[in-house]
Structure 1
Amino acid sequence: MTLNEIAKKLIRQNKGRYLILSLSICFAILMTGAYGVLLFSPAITDVLMTDGSTYLIALGMYGITVLGIVVFLFYANSIFMKFQMGEIGIFLSLGMPPKAVTKMHNKQFDLVFAFSGVIGVVLSIPFAFAVWSFLTLFLSYTDHTFTIGWQGIFIAILIWISAWGILRLKNTISLSKADVIKILHSSSENEEVKGAKPILGLLGLFAIPMGVILFNITAVIDGLKTISMLFLVISLIGGYLLTAQITTIGTLVKRFFPKAYRKNILFYNLVRQKGNQYTLSLFVSSLLIALTVFSICFNGSSFLELHYQVKEDPYDYAVLTTGEQQKDLDESTIRLMAEEHNISTSDWHSLDMLLIGREHQYQEKEKNEWGPEFVISQSSFEDLTGQTLSLPENGFGYFEDSDNATFQTFSNEQGNFYNPSVHKEFHLTKTSLISEENIVNNSTQISYFLILNDKTFQELKNSLGPDYQFRYYLFNGDHPENSKAFQDELLGKIVTLNNGEIFDSYQEAAVQDKISGYSDVIIPYAGNELYAARQWDFYPYAKATQLDILLESGSVYLLLIFFIAIIAFVSASMIMCLKIAGTILQDQESYQRAVYLGLKERDLKKMIRKQIALIYFFPTFCGSITAIFMINRFMAVSSVTHISAITVLAVLLSVVVVIIQIIAFGVLQRRMTAVATKAVYEKNY
């Protein structure tokens, strides 16, 4: 039999390992490419805007996951190489030169990597399209046009070629140093892990929460914000140190429970033998599980906040109309439309609102800037809130719903304002600043405004043209099940009155003389429904449908986050499965010797299940607990108010992850245990 025939026979016998490597490469490139196709797609960037914080977060998550996928590829390659060492040892023992063995191996490796990478790249576009199509089945506002982000394909190809070259070089160097004797004893070598000492394990256990807590403290202190991320690195180091102690678990059990140690001595020693392998795979898997839970909860927190925000809005409906539209859509018309949908209105407020310019004043005057501002009268505000104000004719009050950020722009007592109709500035003195929740609907576009004395308000109104005069209706109504039909009729009426167009820059028109680069932005409503639902002030608000609209407007972001979470979770599971397969294969000789010395089949299966459980559940529990703690601490330094609800969400999501892993473990351990015991007894008998 020639060497070529031997090589082909070995490939046929061990085709499973080539299939595992091929699937790993295909998965890594497919997921990287598919996510990139969506992330850089105009359908996504037009909604999230590439300079927005949500898009930057999505990019950061992409970078972390790509790093995890690269680690996964390196781990899959290391497992493949350990499998291959048996074949390599055969060829070396037959007298084949190391260079020839390396050349033959590289030829096989190149074929697998090239084929798998091409499949991954080719399938990434249809896979991304399938994900996009599935999402848009449940959405009515989202643009259904799928576009390809070619940058994502380029990144996937770059990662594929780079990983191919680096792994090929790494394997070539390893094979050039291959030694037959070392290969024969590779399965029984001990891999002592640096840092595998109980005292360092305690230090790691302490460092994980302490790093997050210190991040929590420094992230809100101006002088320390720049170093806050360093404390997360401390948590990561603590996680590694804690993971490394898995290999020394037998030492602790031996010291405190000698009887239990003697009963499971083979299990503890097998764990110790594979020290570095356990530490790396379990640590990376733990990080990916933590990323799965954390990414969904952290990025989903804003949508949970929106849920509470909409729920706490004081009015069921809010409608903004222009002065010109009052002839066709006034209070009586809206009430009549509501009655036609069997909705009885109550708590009705009609607010006359004016639009003017205001100079935002800062401590450094060169940073001052002009912006539009709505104005209401003192009597309207008192009727809305039940409060009593005392505003002089030359004074103003300012209201904002539970947000003090804008208050910081009133650094001076005197405010500078601008009348866009007569093109003149005027000045008023700051009298009061009011911050109070549940006065107006905070989830609508109008949640802050100026308050003027009634006389001053009327004088200003008389001098303003109709383009800068509006009426804002706030009211409640019963029968929320009819809200959608009522809202749709209102929307249709408003769109018709606006000639089917959205005047997107109508607020900026009030300060067009004060800002450079102003231009009218008029777009058709048709084809821009999603944008209108998100940004158009004249889009009628209905509490019963508002959360759906907000979720749909953020659906592309949710798509990216869930997609990245799935990639992280599947990557973690595949790393664990590869580790399980590698462990059982490497421990075959130990199993055989144990059976030869009298270990019963039942006890062998029990020990194998323990090995699988250790690999499968340590990352699951460690990653989930870490994610819960981190999400709680991260929310504490954010503007999120419902921290407990988000923490509960993290706990529930972790429970779901654990249940999935338990189900997967039940299937996997039964299959792997049967395969391992069958191989052992076939060789022994």
Structure 2
Amino acid sequence: MTFGRFAYNNIIRNFRAYLAYFLSSIFSIMIFFVFAVSMFHPIITDSGIQSGSTAFMALMISELIILGFSLLFILYSLGNFLKSRLRDFGVMIIIGMSNKQLKRLILIENLIIGLLAIMLGILLGLSISKLFLLYLGKIFYMNLTESYFPIKAILMTIISFMLLFLITGPLSLKLLNKNNIFELLVGTKKPKKDIKPSKLFGILGILCLMTGYAMMLFVNKLNINGDMYMIALLITLGMFLFFSQFTILILKHMKNREKFYKNKINMLLIGNLVYKMKDNSRLLFLMTILLSGTLVAFTTTSTLVTSQGKSSKNNFPMVYSYFSEDNNNKKYEDLEEIRNTIKEYDYKELSFPMLEYNNEVLLSMSNYNKLSKQLGLDKINLRIDEGIIVPRYNSKEHINSLKEIKAYKIKNVNIKIKESTDRIIFPTGMFSKIIVIHDNLYNNIQSKFSKINFHGFDYENWQDSADITEALKEKHFNLDRNDMKSYFLTLPDMYLAELQQSKILQFMGIFIGVILFMAVLSFLYFRLYTDEPFDKVKYNNLSKIGLSFKNMNKIVSIEIGILFFVPFIIAIVNSIFSLLFLNSVLNNSFNLKNWGILLVLSCIYSLYFHLLKKFYIRKVWFFD
């Protein structure tokens, strides 16, 4: 028998152990390949979506995330697989296999699995790439149904993952260098040391979590850019200490309650949990991070497209906004063209002058109230020396910064700022300052300023007017016009641009969420597979001294349930607080669709729990 044949036979004999690793590798390769097919599609590369564009960068970032995560995942899964085979390796060394031959065997096995996974991943990717391109075509507004042979994508996938499998092999071998023959033969059955968790670190973990969540709730009082990192650090540290210290403290406390501890199966259950929580603390922490990423990716990106219309309208209050200098003779022709273009819509038109100096504008209280009525905002009342500052952006950080302004001076005109409003009235970012003043003050100082005339057009179903808006701008308001005495800004244009970005983000979020979710399911399988031989011997011995199937089923269900659902519940809490945080920052609302996504993922996760639990119980109870 050749050495390669021996490696192949090992794979066949341990196929169930390799199955999750193999299938997860295939899935990662398939997703990577499908993204590569999209990146190198001739219509995309010939359409201007080149390096540096948002669309291209989205695909490239997704590729790098998939590849980087695949490296970590393969390292973890291969490490778990090798741990489960330590005893086999010890036997091989005893019967004469050298360390060099053992390492060579592991590398060959890894390469065989890698080659098979790459081939099947590419074949599956080819079979679904058509559907993927149809979906991508809707995002980029392109027809991507034209077939082509993705030779670049195939080569990129083969090279990337062959390098990845070559890297993971030597890294995983470091595990064997730390074990002598006795440790290899003992494998995962080594006696476990008693655990001494720290009360200080356990309480600190809870405090970190509570502080992080509180900071998310009171986001309006925070410096968002600076405190986001602190929130992430606190919650991450809190979760790590929760699993590594606090959970063991709780179990130790339950163990010290003698009456409770000696009641029925509690002694066996709690004793198992104390040591399993220590073994699994890092896994539980990692699963919580991945599940939090999964839930946040799905819930936040799933509503981006459906809520984009509302979001764009918040940033662009009027459908059409036309600004013109007072001496612009062409404005009458421009306005007439706009009216003729949207005459089929039941539009409302508002117009008024403003005073301008150095891109700062003043408008009268009466004109502001006229506009606020159309936009559904509150009217204002001012004294002659008072003014109100209007935000240029809808962000909470910008609005809060305006509240600190108490006085304003422009061209020797002093204005006492009464307050600031909380909604924009012009397209986002327009002008450097927007101040509302009393009508009498406006009339008294208007001779000192130049004037800008604003004309706003508003109507329903504006999403349907994208084509006529584009034609109108190309024909009459292109940037090559020499006068530059007017500005024509349209909501449909902004909406289409933001909608494409939202679709790209949704596209990335869904696929990255799927990959993270699949990783969690695979990690759970590997954990149970590693525990199976030890648990099988344990329950076999316990059955001989009277442990019933009913009690064993209850113990295993609780143990696996904790492994499954403690990280999931914390991940749900993390995702809810993340959504509340993002909704507060972005002025959105937590809606039924978010809850629906959490419910669907919970059902899938629970179904996997019941299937894996049933499979595991059959393995550990029905002894060979």
- TM-score bracket for this pair, using the shorter chain length: 0.7 to 0.9
Contact kept in structure 2, 1:314 and 1:441, CA below 8 Å: yes
- Offset at residue 324 of structure 1 (A): 5.6
For residue 525 of structure 2, the aligned residue among 577, 590, 596 is 577
CA-to-partner distance for each residue in 1:157-205, whole Å, 9 max, x for gaps?
668635642x323443433454443333323224459774565433322
Q: 1:503: which partner in 2?
A: 478
User: 2: CA distance between counterparts of 1:231 and 1:328?
Assistant: 53
User: 1: CA distance between counterparts of 2:519 and 2:495?
Assistant: 33
CA-to-partner distance for each residue in 1:235-277, whole Å, 9 max, x for gaps?
3232122112556665333223535665144444444454554
Which region of structure 1 is more displaced relative to structure 2, 289-298 or 236-245?
A: 289-298
For residue 288 of structure 1, the aligned residue among 279, 282, 290 is 290
Contact kept in structure 2, 1:288 and 1:572, CA below 8 Å: yes
Contact kept in structure 2, 1:400 and 1:447, CA below 8 Å: no
Seen in structure 2, the aligned counterparts of structure 1 residues 555 and 495 have a Cα distance that, compared at 3 Å, is closer
Q: 2:79: which partner in 1?
A: 78
Q: 1:365: which partner in 2?
A: none
CA-to-partner distance for each residue in 1:90-141, whole Å, 9 max, x for gaps?
323323333323322222223223443565578778867744533555x6x7
Q: 1:613: which partner in 2?
A: 561
State the AA in 2 paired with 1:337: E
Contact kept in structure 2, 1:397 and 1:431, CA below 8 Å: no
For residue 558 of structure 1, the aligned residue among 506, 509, 518 is 506
State the AA in 1 paired with 2:610: G
| 1:323 equivalent in alignment to 2:331 | yes
Q: 1:671: which partner in 2?
A: 615
- Offset at residue 549 of structure 1 (A): 8.0
Seen in structure 2, the aligned counterparts of structure 1 residues 655 and 204 have a Cα distance that, compared at 3 Å, is farther
| 1:474 equivalent in alignment to 2:418 | no
Matches within 5 A, 1:354-433: 359=358, 380-381=367-368, 383-385=370-372, 399-400=390-391, 429=413
Seen in structure 2, the aligned counterparts of structure 1 residues 564 and 428 have a Cα distance that, compared at 3 Å, is farther
User: 2: CA distance between counterparts of 1:266 and 1:94?
Assistant: 38
- Offset at residue 286 of structure 1 (A): 0.6
- Offset at residue 628 of structure 1 (A): 2.6
Contact kept in structure 1, 2:463 and 2:492, CA below 8 Å: no
Seen in structure 2, the aligned counterparts of structure 1 residues 557 and 375 have a Cα distance that, compared at 3 Å, is farther
- Offset at residue 219 of structure 1 (A): 10
User: 2: CA distance between counterparts of 1:387 and 1:668?
Assistant: 63
Of all paired residues, the percent bearing the same amino acid is 13
Q: 2:24: which partner in 1?
A: 24
User: 1: CA distance between counterparts of 2:62 and 2:215?
Assistant: 22
The 3-state SS of whatever aligns with 1:598 is: coil
- Offset at residue 2 of structure 1 (A): 9.6
Which region of structure 1 is more displaced relative to structure 2, 549-558 or 95-104?
A: 549-558
- Offset at residue 287 of structure 1 (A): 0.7
User: 2: CA distance between counterparts of 1:241 and 1:129?
Assistant: 46
* Coordinate RMSD, CA, aligned: 5.6
User: 2: CA distance between counterparts of 1:573 and 1:349?
Assistant: 57
The 3-state SS of whatever aligns with 1:537 is: strand
User: 1: CA distance between counterparts of 2:220 and 2:129?
Assistant: 36
State the AA in 1 paired with 2:505: Y
- Offset at residue 284 of structure 1 (A): 0.4
Aligned residues: 594
**Unmatched tracts of structure 1, length 5 or more:** 360-370, 416-426, 462-468, 512-534
User: 1: CA distance between counterparts of 2:363 and 2:49?
Assistant: 32
State the AA in 1 paired with 2:607: I
Q: 1:337: which partner in 2?
A: 344
Matches within 5 A, 1:431-450: 435-436=420-421, 440=425
For residue 537 of structure 1, the aligned residue among 489, 508, 513 is 489
Matches within 5 A, 1:624-663: 624-632=572-580, 639-641=585-587, 645-646=589-590, 653-663=597-607
Q: 2:88: which partner in 1?
A: 87
Matches within 5 A, 1:187-336: 187-192=188-193, 196-197=197-198, 200-211=201-212, 213=214, 229=229, 232-245=232-245, 246=247, 250-256=251-257, 258-259=260-261, 263-274=265-276, 277-296=279-298, 318=320, 320=322, 323=331, 325-326=333-334, 328-329=336-337, 331=339, 333=340
Contact kept in structure 2, 1:289 and 1:572, CA below 8 Å: yes
The 3-state SS of whatever aligns with 1:662 is: helix
The 3-state SS of whatever aligns with 2:543 is: helix
User: 2: CA distance between counterparts of 1:457 and 1:27?
Assistant: 70
Contact kept in structure 2, 1:196 and 1:248, CA below 8 Å: yes
User: 2: CA distance between counterparts of 1:567 and 1:536?
Assistant: 44
Seen in structure 2, the aligned counterparts of structure 1 residues 378 and 577 have a Cα distance that, compared at 3 Å, is same
The 3-state SS of whatever aligns with 2:547 is: coil
Seen in structure 2, the aligned counterparts of structure 1 residues 99 and 47 have a Cα distance that, compared at 3 Å, is closer
Q: 1:364: which partner in 2?
A: none
User: 1: CA distance between counterparts of 2:234 and 2:65?
Assistant: 17
Matches within 5 A, 1:24-43: 24-31=24-31
Contact kept in structure 1, 2:89 and 2:102, CA below 8 Å: yes
Contact kept in structure 2, 1:196 and 1:247, CA below 8 Å: yes
Q: 2:375: which partner in 1?
A: none
The 3-state SS of whatever aligns with 2:522 is: helix
Seen in structure 2, the aligned counterparts of structure 1 residues 20 and 312 have a Cα distance that, compared at 3 Å, is closer
Which region of structure 1 is more displaced relative to structure 2, 196-205 or 436-445?
A: 436-445
Contact kept in structure 1, 2:390 and 2:423, CA below 8 Å: no
The 3-state SS of whatever aligns with 1:587 is: helix
| 1:133 equivalent in alignment to 2:134 | yes
- Offset at residue 594 of structure 1 (A): 2.0
User: 2: CA distance between counterparts of 1:39 and 1:195?
Assistant: 52
User: 2: CA distance between counterparts of 1:598 and 1:559?
Assistant: 55
Contact kept in structure 2, 1:316 and 1:475, CA below 8 Å: yes
Q: 1:12: which partner in 2?
A: 12
| 1:622 equivalent in alignment to 2:624 | no
User: 1: CA distance between counterparts of 2:142 and 2:165?
Assistant: 36
Which region of structure 1 is more displaced relative to structure 2, 183-192 or 435-444?
A: 435-444
TM-score computed with the length of structure 2 as normaliser: 0.72
Contact kept in structure 1, 2:30 and 2:125, CA below 8 Å: yes
The 3-state SS of whatever aligns with 2:337 is: coil
- Offset at residue 80 of structure 1 (A): 1.0
Contact kept in structure 2, 1:401 and 1:435, CA below 8 Å: no
User: 2: CA distance between counterparts of 1:375 and 1:654?
Assistant: 48
User: 2: CA distance between counterparts of 1:441 and 1:225?
Assistant: 25
The 3-state SS of whatever aligns with 1:351 is: strand
**Unmatched tracts of structure 2, length 5 or more:** 324-329, 373-378, 437-441
Seen in structure 2, the aligned counterparts of structure 1 residues 13 and 330 have a Cα distance that, compared at 3 Å, is closer
Q: 2:546: which partner in 1?
A: 598
Q: 1:420: which partner in 2?
A: none
Contact kept in structure 2, 1:249 and 1:268, CA below 8 Å: no
State the AA in 1 paired with 2:563: I
User: 2: CA distance between counterparts of 1:353 and 1:323?
Assistant: 13
Contact kept in structure 1, 2:199 and 2:249, CA below 8 Å: yes
Seen in structure 2, the aligned counterparts of structure 1 residues 29 and 164 have a Cα distance that, compared at 3 Å, is farther
CA-to-partner distance for each residue in 1:592-612, whole Å, 9 max, x for gaps?
222233323333333332332
